[in-house]
Amino acid sequence: MAHSSSAFVAAISVLGLCTAISVGAIPQGAKELDRDAYADQLEGFWVGQCIANWTGLRTEGRRQEAPFYTDADWPMTFDGVSLRFVTDQDPWQADDDTDIEYVYGSLMTEHMSPMLTAGQIRDGWIEHINSFIWVSNAKARILMNRGIEPPMTSLPSANGSFLMIDAQLTTEYFGAVAPGMPSVALELADLPIRTTAGGHAAHAAQFFVVLHSLGAVRGQDALNAAGIEQLVVDAMGYLPSTSKAYDIVETVLTDYQSNPDKTNWERTRDLVADRYQINDDLYGFRYQAWYESSVNFGSAIVCLLYGEGDYRETVRIGTLTGWDSDNPTATMGGLIGLMLGADGLRDEFAGDDLSDRYWILRTRDAMFDYLPDDPDAEDLFTLLAKRQLRNIDRVVEMGGGVANFAGWLIPEHPAGDHDLHNPICREGLRSANVQQIELGTPPTATTSLSDDPMLQVGSPLPIRFANGVEHDPSGREYLDTQDFQFFWTKGSAPDMNGEVALEVQYAQPVEAHTLRFIEGDHFVDGGWFETLNFEIRVQDEWIAVTRGDELSLDSAVPFERIDFELDQVTMIDGVRVRGQVGGSASYITASELDVLAAPTQRPDFGWDIDQDGRVDVEDLYSFNDSPIDMDRNGMIEANDKKLLEQAVRWKELEEIRGDR
């Protein structure tokens, strides 16, 4: 709703609010971002990633274990390559450190929404991402061909590579399009991250998203040792302390802080190698491969902290750390580039002519050509940055801020609380299986089978569908890979009616809002239910809540997540699924049977009181009807009115001037 200046004055007069707010006054703690200046920052993000990506590629995979590179190896020719900054590509060549994020940005623009759906992500991958992908990205892409959508493409029982590095190099950009709003950034990035990652690998990707969101508004002022250290500390709050990713950040940060020689980054890199690779079992961890999440996440934090905000030093250290060295280097190069901006980045390489052109069709299919007269490139980073400004408008509105054609007003965001702001944690807290395991009263899993299934691809142990792995938000290390197996009934006959029942019981009643069944894989001879019926146990009585024909099942699509929402929240002590078995061999598969409590929403921090997607005079009326603690100091007082009025008037003043 647009308001004239007279309507605005009349409205706040009715509310008894002071109108003598100085022009340009903004609420305390808020950040005002200039649109053109931020376009320069976004361009810096892309150029910064490209330089770091192609510089780091010179050492990718060359040092997968000790002895690693050291300072003495830069800038000499070593292992047949010259270690130097790569600044001379024109156009910049797409690589998997930049091109999947480019696709996500294009999908946001195409769908006019920064919040991509599972179907939009799957369709986008199928259309654009068909080569130059490896490990978890490649596995997720194969699963998409089978009809599977995120987040099931990163399900541990479906994608055995879910703890690899992939999501850490494909999703940082969601932080850049949600400047100063890390919890909103995590919402935007949630499905893209869980397209390929789970567990602590998903937390590592989330950490990078938060770094970019916070760094975007702190900018060049934070490009120093203290600013970078504070950035790392603040981002830690968004991860559960139980996560291996948290342990990695804490280990690297603590060693950096205690190191008297801040040029001796090799000491901390070697600590990462010792704790998470060489002697991993001594610390309760499991090293998997040189392209896994853990060691590369650690090397990213090493180069960020010891780089102390200096772009060249950050990239140089990242290139020398070892393992999958282009990936963490590109991520931190993009972060520093975002904080510096393109102009600041060009000052770092004053003697070089840094290209603005991008060759996306090198690796990605069917992308729009914004440069039809240029045979070697399809886009300019300046054009790309300007196109994304409209997506940021939409994001700022989601965060309860105010956007106008000159820039954005970003609400103050409180310190990170993973239970509130992290969508993986919020979802995991709903799981009865997870919560009962944490309480030391794990659920009991049984079946209607008269004999044991065979042990092969699937597991014959019923506990596999009640172990909470699929919803576990802790990020803890699973040392036994069999925990990720799905259960199956192959080799054991269904009952005389052709049915199988799976049952989970709890030692104490749990809150039931949604009943969830997650399948395992399907095979030529079976693996699915033809019909499915949910039952709940209330005070020792089993009650059917669905009929077998009510739920939509697809025998052609495995790893389906089948949810049934109860009419009202109910306390139950058991859940059961029962149905006709499909396939010539008559068996089913199951990854998890769980009970979910009512969902909790991400808390909104901003000025959109009436939740209509904009900040205007109507929010003043809503505040007058139901005052709230705007500054979150535990009290409702005059300052709360002032903060809201300043936010509303920041926009109204532009309208009065006719700037909109």
**CATH class for the domain made up of 35-56+68-231+324-410:** mainly alpha
- Phi, then psi, of 244 in degrees rounded to 5: -60, -35
Residue 332: pLDDT over 80 = yes
Residue-wise pLDDT tens digits, 259-295: 999 999 999 999 999 999 999 999 999 999 999 999 9
| Closest listed residue to residue 572, CA positions, set 529, 534, 533 | 534
Average pLDDT score over residue span 71-80: 84
How many whole angstroms separate alpha carbon 141 and alpha carbon 179?
A: 30
| Closest listed residue to residue 378, CA positions, set 99, 595, 131, 189 | 99
Coil, strand or helix at 50: helix
Residue-wise pLDDT tens digits, 388-416: 999 999 999 887 788 887 889 998 888 87
Residue-wise pLDDT tens digits, 230-240: 999 999 999 99
Residue 164: pLDDT over 60 = yes
Farthest-apart Cα atoms in the chain, separation: 81
What is the pLDDT, as a whole number, of residue 19? 40
What CATH topology corresponds to 430-596? Answer: Jelly Rolls (2.60.120)
Coil, strand or helix at 426: helix
How many whole angstroms separate alpha carbon 192 and alpha carbon 105?
A: 12
What is the pLDDT, as a whole number, of residue 655? 60
Residue 12: pLDDT over 80 = no
Peptide bond between residue 375 and the one before it cis (omega within 30 degrees of 0): no
H-helix or E-strand spanning residue 331: helix 326-348
What is the pLDDT, as a whole number, of residue 608? 85
3-state DSSP helix/strand/coil percent for the chain, to nearest 5? Answer: 45, 15, 40
Average pLDDT score over residue span 526-551: 91
What is the pLDDT, as a whole number, of residue 77? 76
User: Is the model more confident about 156 or about 552?
Assistant: 156
What is the pLDDT, as a whole number, of residue 337? 98
Please provide the DSSP assignment of 231-286 as one string. HHHHHHTTS-TTSHHHHHHHHHHHHHHH-S-TT-HHHHHHHHHIIIIITGGGGT--
Top-ranked range on mean pLDDT: pick from 70-84, 352-366, 617-631: 352-366
What is the pLDDT, as a whole number, of residue 10? 42
Residue 578: pLDDT over 50 = yes
In the structure, what pLDDT confidence band is assigned to residue 23 with cuts at 50, 70 and 90? very low
Average pLDDT score over residue span 609-629: 87
Residue 570: pLDDT over 90 = yes
Q: Which two tokens stand for residue 343?
A: 């102009």
- Phi, then psi, of 403 in degrees rounded to 5: -120, 145
Q: Which two tokens stand for residue 268?
A: 């901390």
Pairing mode, if any, of strands 77-78 and 357-359?
A: unpaired
Determine contact, residues 334/312, Cβ cutoff 8 Å. no
Determine contact, residues 549/609, Cβ cutoff 8 Å. no
Residue 350: pLDDT over 90 = yes
Average pLDDT, the chain: 92
Task: Sketch the domain layout of the chain as residue ranges.
Answer: 5-27+607-657, 35-56+68-231+324-410, 430-596
Residue-wise pLDDT tens digits, 135-146: 999 999 999 999
Residue 14's Cα: distance from chain center in Å? 44
The amino acid sitting at 492 is S
Residue 444: pLDDT over 80 = yes
Residue 13: pLDDT over 60 = no
Note the pTM of the prediction, 2 decimals: 0.94
The amino acid sitting at 659 is D
